[in-house]
Amino acid sequence: MAKGIWIIIEQSKSEIRKVSLELLSQGRILADQAGEPLVAVILGKDISGLAQEVSAYGADKVILVDDDKLADYTTGAYTSVLNQLIRKEEPQAVLLGNTAVGKDLAPRLAHRLGVGMASDCTGMEADADNFLVFKRPIYGGKAFAAVAANTRPILATIRPNTFAVAEPDTARKAETVSETAAIDPADLRAIVKEVALAASERPELIEANIIISGGRGMKGPENYKILEECADVIGAAVGASRAAVDAGWIEQKFQVGQTGKTVSPTIYIACGISGAIQHLAGMGSSKVIVAINKDPEANIFNLADYGIVGDLFEVVPLLTEEFRKLGN
């Protein structure tokens, strides 16, 4: 009989991504409501030290798969190992972050297991009839759908910053089980030779609690230094609209929107962004949206919680100075 809620822990160099801690925190609540164990599954190399960390965030059981072939994420190896584990243990639900890794891994697992999946969910709750019900945006974020699964395991990816991270309980001890990675050689079609990390002290866009983004109103690439200065004062990530990326003002990796990255920060500051549906689809679930635009009719104001009608080249530096004073 299917049992347990599994959280697939995303980690790199033994550092757990924040979205996995969010899933553990919310998973603990749902597991208690459903009377099910919460299981953290960690794949990688030299990962035994992570067992206590995930235990502190609510895991009842930790499954470790430690192998040289899993040192860096590769689609084939991770899919192969998780497919075998899930078939062996038969959990009720398997949850992943809606990150680059999660979006690559989850649909392949769904195909191998022959089950459906709910993607990019912005909510989930226990349900007496369906075990779990998920909320996900549709029509570019204009509406939300309730999604339930009639197959097991339930498979879903959850948007980062959807749930709060609970305070860790360091006294909590989870059962730890080590599993062997039986990787089919046919699944090793790609091997990671080197990982080049970009040096930046700013948080990663998809996991940032605060994001300040610029659009067409930035007028040129040289003006992004205004946003970068503000971002460094408040500990924010810098984002951009598609218009700014298409104009060549900023790299595509900073793009927020339907064809860029989907974010859900606590605070999203939109500077010189009109509010096209393509952009709103990528940031509409932000907890608080602040819009700065000199056009009072800009569509972004319809979604914003706070709006400043003014020239961003005047407003943003003033905000930066005020933030700096608060920081001191």
pLDDT one-digit tens code per residue, 62-105? 999 999 889 889 999 999 999 999 999 999 999 999 999 999 99
Residue listed under structure tokens 């109103």: 217
Mean pLDDT of 189-204: 71
Q: Report whether 38 contacts 93 (CB < 8 A).
A: no
Query: Is there a cis peptide before residue 153, judged by omega within 30 degrees of 0?
Result: yes
- Structure confidence at residue 11 as a pLDDT band (50, 70, 90): very high
Mean pLDDT of 218-230: 96
| pLDDT for res 184 | 72
- In angstroms, the CA 317 to CA 219 distance is 16
| pLDDT for res 258 | 85
Three-class DSSP category at 207: helix
Mean pLDDT of 250-257: 94
Q: Where exactly does CATH 3.40.50.620 map onto the chain?
A: 5-187
91 backbone dihedrals φ, ψ, rounded to 5°: -70, 160
Question: Within a 13 Å sphere around the CA of 53, how many CA atoms are in the beta-carbon half?
Answer: 19
Topology at the third CATH level for domain 205-327: Rossmann fold (3.40.50)
Q: Where exactly does CATH 3.40.50.1220 map onto the chain?
A: 205-327
- In angstroms, the CA 105 to CA 93 distance is 15
pLDDT of 1 > 60? The answer is no
40 closest CA partner among 14, 55, 62, 72 = 62
- Structure confidence at residue 321 as a pLDDT band (50, 70, 90): very high
Measured CA distances, 244 to 150, 181, 215 (Å) = 43, 45, 5
155's tokens: 């498979």
* CATH 3.40.50.10540 describes domain 5-187: no
- In angstroms, the CA 47 to CA 15 distance is 9
Q: Give the H/E segment covering residue 291.
A: strand 288-293
Percent with pLDDT over 70 in the chain: 96
